[in-house]
Every structure is written in structure tokens, then in C-alpha cells.
Structure 1
Amino acid sequence: MYDEKRAFRYCVISMVIFVVTILIGIEKTEANTELKVGTYHCPPFIFHDKSQEFEGLSMTLWLRISEIMKVDYSIQNYELDDLLLAAEKGDIDVGVSCISITPDREEHVDFSHSFYETHLAITVKNRGYLDSFISIITNKTLWKALGIFFFVAISVGAFYYFLERKNNDKLYSMPTKRGRLAEAFILGVLFITKGPFNYFEFKTLSARIMTVLIAMFSTVFIASITAILASSLTLEQLRFDVKGVNDLSKLQVGAKQATTTSLLLTDHSIAHETYPNMRELLVALDNGDVDAIVADDAVLRYMIKQGKAKEMFADLVVLPYQLEKQNYGLVLVENSEYEEEINRALLQIRETTEWHQILLEYFTEK
């Protein structure tokens, strides 16, 4: 009888311990379901509304994922590099923004499946024919080249005038001195542009000898002036006819700092100015501080669309040329215990009609 009571007592104690262990486990599980989410300001994927609540395409996606996973979360905003570092150190569980999946980043953090595919694009300021004409005629290189040309033409004309004015009535036939000086200038222009006159047009030996020497000089001179003007005018044309990344090498280019865009331009040896955010980058282009900017196509189109609604960026256009493709994913801690669950939820959301409607809402130009 005593043994039966003892066994019963042990059984009750064991059950109590088991129940307490289960309850503690449940309590710990519930305590650990709040995930730490890091964000990075990148309209239209992440931005603050007027009440300082986080909104955007990526936040909408994360809201749906958290509902499917049935988890709570807290949010902290970072700069891009700080967000990636926080994920690498395990200070956050998930990074939510417009973060490109790249091999370099994969060495330090993990990513979810891609939730948005895009590409880098070039944006320029669209100018009319009048602006193009004004830009060309105000080109400093053009006026410098013309100044050098007229200086040389006057010098050549003056040289022959002093050698031939008393002996050559054919070249200097005007009755007045002013007229003969005008003929000297015309002679210099024609000599430089059309090459030397007939050797026997000149009466003095000095003029004939210099004719040969200046003839060689004029050929090189005209070729140099032509090259300078062609390069300058071609550069002006490129400002309105950029077709790819290689056309950017001779322009003033802008990009957002610490992004894959800046890395791409550096890899192509394209010097560029960097700006801390997209707004300042677009303002720089609109003000003429740079000739072209390179950034994510979706972000460019959204920001320009928002600007036009506020009567800004009216002349900015995104060119229809795709540069490097980009895939955006959620940033995860390496070997995250939530990775599989997040990916399942993400794929489930991407297949819904609601998700496609959200994409149209953000990116369809009105």
C-alpha cells in the first residue's frame, strides 16, 4: 500500500513538472516571437507618412508576411550600410527596403527570395531644339576655337600684307587702306581654310618661301580645330542622346552614394558625383549640376512621378535602356531560423492578385 502511494505521488510530481515545463516553453516561445525589423528609407519601397508610420511596397509585403507567420515585430530605421551591418551582427532579424541581392552582400548576410525585379536606368534632362541651339552657341570650347582660328587668320593675313602690299596690286586692289586691310584678313581666312594660293600669286621671295611653310602648318591647324569643334559639339549632342553606360564617360554623372549604382559606374571607370539621397540627386540633375544620373529604374520613375505632381522635375526623363539588372530581397541574418517560413509566405503573397494590384498602384504612370 505504501509503495502504491509513493508511486502515485511520484506520478503527480512528474506531471506537474511536465506541465510547468510546457508552460515555460510556451511562455519563452511567445516572448521570442517579436522580430526586430530594420528599414532603410527608399521610396516607394520604404518611407514615412505624415504620422511617421512606415509605408511603402516593402513594408506592405512585410505586413502580409508577418500576418501569415503570426509574429509581432518592432521597427528601427537605418542607413543602408548600417542596416547591412546590423543584420551581419544579428542586431536585427529582418531588413526591409529596396536592397539588391549581390554576391558581395551574400558573403555577410542572407537574403530571402526576390520580391521585385528591376534594373538600373539613366535619367537626363530633356531639352528642346532651342535649348540645344543655345547650349551649342554658348559652348566655351566653341568660342575658344573660333577665337584661335581668327587670331591665326589675322596673323597670316597681316604677314602677307606687310610683305606684298607694295608689290602685289592683284591681291590688294582696293583703293583705300581700310579696304586693303579687309583684303588681307580675307586672304588669311582663305589661306587657312582652303590651303595656299598659287605659288606665283606672290611677288616676293619671302612670301613664296613662307607659303610652303604656312601650308604645312595650316593643314595641321585646321585638322586640330576641326577635331576640337567636333568633340565639343558631339559632347553637347550626347547630353540629349545618351543610349548606354559607355556614353556617360564624357558627361558629368551623378549617383546615390554607397549603392550598387556607384559601384557599377566605378567598375566602368566613369567618374561621378555622389549624393546622399534620391531627392538631392534628382534636384542636381534638374538644376543642371550634372548631365545624367543613374539609379534604380523603379525608384527613378516613382520619384519623378511624385515630383511632377508637385510641379517639379517636369523635364526629367528616364531613358528606355536597361543597364544592370537588380533583384530586391529581404535581408536576413545568416542561417536565420525564419528564412524558410519567410520565403514560403513571400512566394504565397507574390502569387496573389492583391500583390499585382499593389505593384500597379506604385509604378503605373498616370
Structure 2
Amino acid sequence: MPASAQTVPQPAKRGEMAIATREAPPFAMKDAKGQWSGLAIDLWRDIADDAGLKYRFEQTDLDGMVQGVADGRYAASVGALTVTPAREKAVDFTHPYYTTGFGIAIGQAPPSWLILFRNFFTWGFLQAVLALAALLLVVGLLFWAVERRHNQDEFGGRPISGIGSGMWFSAVTMTTVGYGDKAPRTMAGKVIALVWMFAAILIISTFTGLIASSLTEGRLSSSIKSPSDLSSAHVGSINGSAAQGWLDERGVAFDAYPDIEAGLAAVRSGQIDAFVYDRPLLAYLIRDGGEGKGLRLVPGTFGRQDYAFALPQDSKMREPLNRALLERIESPEWAAKVKQVLGRD
């Protein structure tokens, strides 16, 4: 038993201490029987048990983990709680027991051929095709109207046949194929054909732009390669979190979600392009499956986060806890456990 751990004083009021926590796998997890476990929970349990402290875990939200300690509802907060300047004003923190940063969760990039195939069936692409077909019909009607009496062989016959020939001539002229099987004979037809040739250049350019826009629209999530790409993406995060402060500093707006699972589900369903939060929590959920299944993290860790236990201001437990905490986290056992649970983060 570490000597320093034995010096952790009991709280002023005898009895069980209420310790605030919240689910944040793999640092704090609650099973079906209501039992808590995880890296942070087990670390606290080892230190508290060595010191003979009596305690119970109480579940709360992120705000409660800070304000609850500040107003005396809880003796401490244990979990994936980041040290920030704003929180430091309300509570005291122990030495950090884990240092990490933020991660960006995005969808898996589908193969290029799949994106191409999928976007051929978007409403935007269909609108462009219908608009082009309507234009070809109008131009085809003009050719049929001026040519049907003087060019019976190519634009004559039944109206549906003549209009079809006009649309065919319009299409091959616009695409510069020019089979030569049909051509206007009247002066009016030639003038219309000349105007149509020049207009078709602009139309083809516009249509090509519409297709390119439609086909690249679905690639936004796969184009997020760094935090600088977030400003043009639809981003999600959690209000009141350290991630919110990091995004606010960069002027990135985001949709708020109640928890990580909801945010990852929104990425999977396409509601948002990326979800930003603590990297180890995202990595664990993505690796573990569930709502993170099929997602991936942008390479790299961004910003800095220090996880620590929160205590009331001027708590007498702070120094003894720090000594016991440092002994634990500097041990080979702690390093092995972190590596086993988080891997490469």
C-alpha cells in the first residue's frame, strides 16, 4: 500500500462521499447492474481504497461534474473531465492523469465509382437532365415548324416523327457530333441552327458545371483532412465541453448533441459531416463498434486536453491525492493498462 495514499484525509462530514461521474467510455462506464468501471473509475477506486475512503458514485451530466463539486453536492468528480480555465475558477483539479487532444470523426469515404453512381440519381442531377430535355424539345419544335413544309424527307411526316427529328438534330448539334443525316434547308432553319450552335457551347459548359457540382457534393466528409477544413463543413459537438471552446476559438459553428453516441449517429446518417470531441473517447467508440461503426478519425490529435479529478476549492484532499495519483500513473502497471484499453488512441 503506497504510504502517500494512506494520508488522504477523510472529508469533514463522516460517512460516504458522493463522487460525481458520467458515462464516457473507456474512462467511466456503467454496466447493466449499475456498477461503474473504466480507467478513471478504477484509478480513483485504487487510490480511495488504499486510503480507506468511503464513497459512492453518483451519475450526473458534464455541467453537474463541475458545478456539483463547486456547490458542495459532491466531494469530487471522477471521469473524462478536462481541465479548463473556466472550470478552474469553480473547482480545484488534481494533477492530470491522462493527456490527450481532440479528434474529428467522419464517415468512411466510399469508392469514387460509388459516389459517381449514387449522385447520378440525385434530385439536382435529375433536374438538370429534365431542363436539358425540355430545351431540346423547344429547339426541336422550332426546327420542325420551319422545316416541315420545305424539308419533308428529314423533318416531315407525322408531327411526333418530325418533332423527334428536330430534337435529334438539336442534340447532335449541341454535342458537336453532327452525323450529317439531317440538316436545315430553309433560311430560317439555318439561322436557328447557327444561333443554336453558339448557344449550345454555353449550355454544355453550364450543364457540365451542374454535373460536376452534383457529383462532388457527396465528397465533403472525405475532404476533411485537418481542422482547417471544418469551417466549410457541417460539424457537431457537445455544448459545455472543452471541444466547444476549441471550436469557438476557431470560429467553427456546430450543432449541439446531448452525447457522443448521438453525435456519431448523426455522422453515420449524413446529418452532419464531422463530430468533434475528445479523441480517446471517439477512438474507443469507433473501435468498439455500436454508433461508431463504419466511421473513422481524421489522422492526428488536435489541441490539448488534460484529464484530472475535480475537488472543491482549497480541498485538504488535493495534495495527498496528487501524491497518490502520481505514484499510480507513473507505474508500469498504469502504462500497460492504458495501452491495453486505448491502444494507440
Q: TM-score, normalised by structure 1?
A: 0.74
Report what 1:184 is aligned to.
166
Cα deviation for residue 184 of structure 1 reads 1.6
Report what 2:336 is aligned to.
357
Gaps of 5+ in 2: 1-8
| Separation in structure 2 between the aligned mates of residue 254 and residue 243 of structure 1, nearest angstrom | 16
1:60 to 1:218, Cα distance in 2 relative to 1, 3 A: same
Q: Is 2:47 aligned against 1:57?
A: no
Report what 2:5 is aligned to.
none
Cα deviation for residue 254 of structure 1 reads 3.7
Check whether the contact 2:18–2:56 (CA below 8 A) recurs between aligned residues. Answer: yes
Q: Give 1:245-284 correspondences, 5 Å limit.
A: 245-248=227-230, 252-265=234-247, 272-284=254-266
1:219 to 1:286, Cα distance in 2 relative to 1, 3 A: same
| Separation in structure 1 between the aligned mates of residue 20 and residue 267 of structure 2, nearest angstrom | 30
Check whether the contact 1:332–1:339 (CA below 8 A) recurs between aligned residues. Answer: yes
Of 205, 210, 214, which residue of structure 2 is paired with 1:232? Answer: 214
Check whether the contact 2:109–2:221 (CA below 8 A) recurs between aligned residues. Answer: no
Residue type of the partner of 1:281? G
Cα deviation for residue 160 of structure 1 reads 3.3
Report what 1:94 is aligned to.
76
What secondary structure does 2:301 align onto?
coil
What secondary structure does 2:305 align onto?
strand
Report what 1:4 is aligned to.
none
Render the CA deviation track for 1:296-349: whole Å, top value 9, x for unaligned: 2211222233336xxx75423333243433222222223333322222222221
1:256 to 1:348, Cα distance in 2 relative to 1, 3 A: same
| Separation in structure 2 between the aligned mates of residue 350 and residue 131 of structure 1, nearest angstrom | 47
What secondary structure does 2:24 align onto?
coil
Cα deviation for residue 40 of structure 1 reads 1.6
Q: Give 1:199-210 correspondences, 5 Å limit.
A: 203-204=186-187, 208=191
Check whether the contact 1:195–1:219 (CA below 8 A) recurs between aligned residues. Answer: no
Report what 2:285 is aligned to.
303
Check whether the contact 2:147–2:184 (CA below 8 A) recurs between aligned residues. Answer: no
Identity of aligned residues (%): 24
| Separation in structure 1 between the aligned mates of residue 59 and residue 127 of structure 2, nearest angstrom | 52
1:30 to 1:315, Cα distance in 2 relative to 1, 3 A: closer
Residue type of the partner of 2:30? H
Check whether the contact 1:98–1:329 (CA below 8 A) recurs between aligned residues. Answer: yes
Residue type of the partner of 1:352? S
Residue type of the partner of 1:44? P
Q: TM-score, normalised by structure 2?
A: 0.78
Cα deviation for residue 57 of structure 1 reads 0.7
Q: Is 2:326 aligned against 1:347?
A: yes
Instruction: Considering fraction of residues, name the structure with more helix.
Output: 1
| Separation in structure 1 between the aligned mates of residue 128 and residue 169 of structure 2, nearest angstrom | 19
1:70 to 1:104, Cα distance in 2 relative to 1, 3 A: same
Q: Is 2:277 aligned against 1:335?
A: no
Q: Calculate the aligned-residue CA RMSD, in Å.
A: 3.7
| Separation in structure 2 between the aligned mates of residue 300 and residue 349 of structure 1, nearest angstrom | 25
Report what 1:140 is aligned to.
123
Cα deviation for residue 267 of structure 1 reads 5.5
Render the CA deviation track for 1:142-188: whole Å, top value 9, x for unaligned: 1112222222222223223323444468xx73665555433321333
Cα deviation for residue 246 of structure 1 reads 4.6
Number of aligned positions between the proteins: 330
Cα deviation for residue 131 of structure 1 reads 4.6
Gaps of 5+ in 1: 1-26
Report what 2:4 is aligned to.
none
Of 14, 20, 41, which residue of structure 2 is paired with 1:38? Answer: 20
